Structure 1
Amino acid sequence: MNTRNVLEDVLPKEQDISFFEENGYWLSPVIFSDEELKEMMEHQDRLYRGEYETGREPASNWIEGRDRPGALRKTDNSHWADLTLRKLATDPVIGSIAGRLMKADQIRLFHDQLLYKPGRGTGKESVNVGWHQDYVYWQCCSEPTLITAWVAFQDTDLSNGSLQMVPRSHKWGMLNINDFFEQNMEKQEEEMEIPENERFAPVPMIMKAGQVSFHHALTIHGSGANNSSSPRKSMAVHMMTGDTTYRYSPKGDHHFNAQMMQGREGERFEGDAWPVMFDASKGN
């Protein structure tokens, strides 16, 4: 991607930033070409065969012939293992957009998740992603100063399990229902304790291949089953502002990023483990 040519066309404008601040999410124009997406998906398949270009394994990975074919495939830190996926996970355009939406001078990669939601033809599992707020898993960070970019490798809508956002939910604080792996989303909704005068009204992210959705770490989101015959492929790029610091938390310290920070209470997440994706001081 030629960053200089496309950056101004895809960066959020003032009205987009206002929309994000009010609703907790924003949908970009198409950023990645069909050729780029094809290469990303080819490298995604390499990981599932256990082929690690760098010689380093991801933090976790689904492996062909070992794991259930009908299960949701969630690979944590694919950028450790593959240079093409690392390029995506540290993409400066994604970082620049996140910087504008978060009004931050610096954006670093927190971690990435390569995702594969199988279609109905691969098994009988529904493979929903339950309603959750990302920050519930990231309480090793002292504040919810994090944002996620979800990159659609294919066209997505409700038929193949598109991501769904709950507007304004980033203003509700931490809720009582948070479970990425919960399959009964209706039960979650029934038991969710939301503030008075607010509405739980999910909005599906209807996206073209190469579009990117952004959401705040407190925005409630989830996705239904993929009822199509093809898998739904994507990557979630989890980012943090440059001033994000580590704190010990029993609820968040199992996270592999927290394990790298143990003993560094109050220090920023800095260094090679958390690459800089945007830095206003350097004009990018």
Structure 2
Amino acid sequence: MHTSNLLSKDDFEFYQENGYWISPKLISDEQLEQLRLSMDSVFNGEYTTGRAPWSNWSGGPGLRQANNSHWADDTIRQLATNPQIGEIAATLLAANSVRVWHDQLLYKPGDPASQASANVGWHQDYFFWQCAAEPTLITAWVAFDDVTLDNGCMQAVPGSHKWGLCNVSDFHEQDLQKQDEALRKSDGRTFAPVPLNMKAGQVSFHHALTFHGSGPNVTAAPRRSLAIHLMSENTRYKSGTASEDNIAVILAKPNEGELFAGDCFPVAYERG
């Protein structure tokens, strides 16, 4: 196993046991300020590259999201392909290189009176990515703001990456309590989420099978972030799955068993 200067043996073992790990602060305050401005520009339809993201949608008063925002903004692309983040992801995946699968620019608005509308239901990312033959993927979630339970930080279920694919994911579910109760009864497993409290500039990494979600932002300020979905060099296409409409397949559909590669999936890190 290779380790980077920011990932100790204990950190690696924590990830293997729990399915997630939180880094120290990797993104400077100056970079964060520029990223917040870039987010505003993308959501306003102003693209420094001249190219729109894959999608740019708002769920009414709820969560706002742009997919493949790295197409639209150079500052966001620099973050999506950040070699430091990429090296950590490669280490956690036991890979020699990682590519960007896609990204999600996420804006959770603040509403002190709300208990829903911008929640993210409990889900495993791989549920939506089954066009990848194996769950050889990881998400690096970059906090643009300090995050706690008050503003809807991500919550993860330790050890759930060892459960396999559970087929009960629902990203858009707003009633987390109902979903929580159903999952607690599922196969007698212990469903005990923990909040991933983070400072702006920290990055959380989670396995593609780790159950995670987030509750309401009951503060007056938005919660802003970029989810960078990364894959190892061994990620191959599998046809006939429920995720054939995935961005990755639409962008560059390989033949059965071929690697996802090429310009559609920029390299974030390559060892050596």
SS in structure 1 of the partner of residue 12 of structure 2 = helix
Query: Any gaps of 5 or more consecutive residues in structure 2?
Result: none
Contact 1:246 1:261 in 2 (8 A): no
Query: Any gaps of 5 or more consecutive residues in structure 1?
Result: 1-6
User: What is the percent sequence identity of the aligned residues?
Assistant: 51
Contact 2:116 2:215 in 1 (8 A): no
One-letter identity of the residue aligned with 1:240: M
Counterparts of 2:204 and 2:159, CA distance in 1: 16
* Number of the residue aligned with 2:88: 97
**How far does residue 112 in structure 1 lie from its aligned partner after superposition?**
0.5
**How far does residue 13 in structure 1 lie from its aligned partner after superposition?**
0.7
> In the TM superposition, what whole-angstrom CA distance separates every residue of 1:57-111 from its partner, at most 9, and x where no partner exists?
1111137xxx73x121111000011100000111101000001111111111100
1:275 paired residue among 248, 261, 266: 266
Counterparts of 1:39 and 1:249, CA distance in 2: 41
Counterparts of 2:176 and 2:114, CA distance in 1: 20
- Confirm or deny that 1:23 pairs with 2:18: yes
- Confirm or deny that 1:212 pairs with 2:203: yes
One-letter identity of the residue aligned with 1:225: P
Question: Which residues of 2 match residues 1-284 of structure 1 at below 5 A?
Answer: 8=5, 11-62=6-57, 68=60, 70-120=61-111, 126-192=117-183, 194-196=186-188, 198-262=189-253, 264-280=255-271, 282=272
Counterparts of 1:80 and 1:151, CA distance in 2: 18
> In the TM superposition, what whole-angstrom CA distance separates every residue of 1:13-70 from its partner, at most 9, and x where no partner exists?
111111101110000000011110000000100011100111111111137xxx73x1
Contact 2:160 2:211 in 1 (8 A): yes
One-letter identity of the residue aligned with 1:27: I
Contact 1:126 1:226 in 2 (8 A): no
Counterparts of 1:123 and 1:50, CA distance in 2: 27
Q: Report the aligned-residue RMSD.
A: 1.7
How many pairs are equivalent? 268
One-letter identity of the residue aligned with 2:265: W
Assess, with a 3 A threshold, how the Cα gap between structure 1 residues 38 and 220 changes in structure 2: closer, same or farther: same
| Alignment TM-score, normalising by the size of structure 1 | 0.90
Assess, with a 3 A threshold, how the Cα gap between structure 1 residues 263 and 272 changes in structure 2: closer, same or farther: closer
| Alignment TM-score, normalising by the size of structure 2 | 0.94
Contact 2:136 2:231 in 1 (8 A): yes
Contact 1:115 1:236 in 2 (8 A): yes
One-letter identity of the residue aligned with 1:31: L
SS in structure 2 of the partner of residue 120 of structure 1 = coil
**How far does residue 250 in structure 1 lie from its aligned partner after superposition?**
3.5
**How far does residue 210 in structure 1 lie from its aligned partner after superposition?**
0.3
**How far does residue 194 in structure 1 lie from its aligned partner after superposition?**
4.0
**How far does residue 258 in structure 1 lie from its aligned partner after superposition?**
0.8
Counterparts of 1:61 and 1:270, CA distance in 2: 24
Contact 2:90 2:269 in 1 (8 A): yes
SS in structure 2 of the partner of residue 61 of structure 1 = strand
SS in structure 1 of the partner of residue 263 of structure 2 = coil
> In the TM superposition, what whole-angstrom CA distance separates every residue of 1:138-162 from its partner, at most 9, and x where no partner exists?
0110000000000000100000000
**How far does residue 249 in structure 1 lie from its aligned partner after superposition?**
3.0
**How far does residue 195 in structure 1 lie from its aligned partner after superposition?**
4.4
* Number of the residue aligned with 1:4: none
SS in structure 2 of the partner of residue 140 of structure 1 = coil
SS in structure 2 of the partner of residue 253 of structure 1 = coil
Counterparts of 2:193 and 2:9, CA distance in 1: 24
